[in-house]
Amino acid sequence: MLQINDLTVAYSNVPVFTDLSVNFSPGKITGIIGPNGAGKSTLIKGTLGLVRRSGNATLNGTAINRVRQKIAYVEQRAALDLTFPISVFEVVLTGTYGKLGLFKSPGRKEKELATDALKQVNLSEFKNRQIGELSGGQLQRVFVARAIVQQADVVILDEPFVGIDMKSEEEIMNVLRGWRDAGKTIIVVHHDLNKVAAYFDELLIMNHGVIDHGPVATVYTQENMARAFSADLSAVLFNKRAGA
């Protein structure tokens, strides 16, 4: 169980949320939705200790800082330099760095892991490509492959489907479902409200704090969506659903 207790994050004294507490269960794909600027990415970064925060986050009772190897994180549209001299295979291999620790370089075992992971996301033939020579969807699959290599118990993805093709989205969803069925805790920050019911087991709806959290069937309601987004948007969303 990933537990977040009384988490507060502020950027230059303006809090994004205060005393936020929420638990994420294993064996579930949990979606996090909320309007732009609601603090979804900030919740992830606060949980991982990537921004200054108060409160704490634990995995099965242990502080995150001490179990980092058990968590994989796929950043939102990482602002990476895609001209960097690194190949697809080398990027995936960096997923082994955490467990390797300082001074050790990846050996045969690590390279096999990376090769397998690339196969799982159907990118084997691209392994020697420079990282900039990929489409958006292929690039995102590379980062999912890196998460595979990390062999983590918890995988957190921040808006992984933005700007990618349907085929890549489907392939990534299949990887996530496989992880879920293997009992991992999967957390996906998501923007496309139409897919909520199809993709997620649980939903965390937020807007500078938790609006509601629970199984999709119980929390994905017109009322909650109106509170998080707007009454208009919510009405459109649910009328469409009722009509379909």
Ligand X SMILES: Nc1ncnc2c1ncn2[C@@H]1O[C@H](COP(=O)(O)OP(=O)(O)O)[C@@H](O)[C@H]1O
Binding site for another protein (CB under 8 A): 48, 50, 65, 68-69, 71, 73, 75, 78, 80-81, 83-87, 90-91, 94, 97-98, 100, 102-103, 105-106, 130, 146, 150
- Total residues in contact with Mg ion, by rule CB under 5 A: 2
Q: Return the beta strands (E) in the chain as ranges.
A: 2-11, 14-24, 28-33, 54-59, 62-63, 71-74, 154-158, 185-189, 202-206, 210-215
Instruction: Measure the CA–CA gap between 52 and 39, rounded to whole angstroms.
Output: 14
Helix, strand, or coil (residue 215): strand
What is the pattern of x (binds Mg ion, CB under 5 A) and - over residues 73-102?
---x--------------------------
Instruction: Measure the CA–CA gap between 123 and 136, rounded to whole angstroms.
Output: 13
If contact means CB under 5 to 8 A according to the sort of partner, which of ligand X, Mg ion, another protein, none does residue 36 touch? ligand X
The radius of gyration of the chain from alpha carbons, rounded to an integer in Å, stands at 18
Look up residue 61 and give its two tokens: 């009772």
If contact means CB under 5 to 8 A according to the sort of partner, which of ligand X, Mg ion, another protein, none does residue 90 touch? another protein
Q: Return the beta strands (E) in 45-135 as ranges.
A: 54-59, 62-63, 71-74
Interaction between residue 42 and Mg ion (CB under 5 A): no
If contact means CB under 5 to 8 A according to the sort of partner, which of ligand X, Mg ion, another protein, none does residue 135 touch? none
| Candidate list 22, 29, 38, 41; residue touching Mg ion; CB under 5 A | 41
Considering only 39-47, 55-63, 85-93, 220-228, which stretch makes contact with ligand X by CB under 6 A? 39-47
| Interface residues toward Mg ion, by CB under 5 A | 41, 76
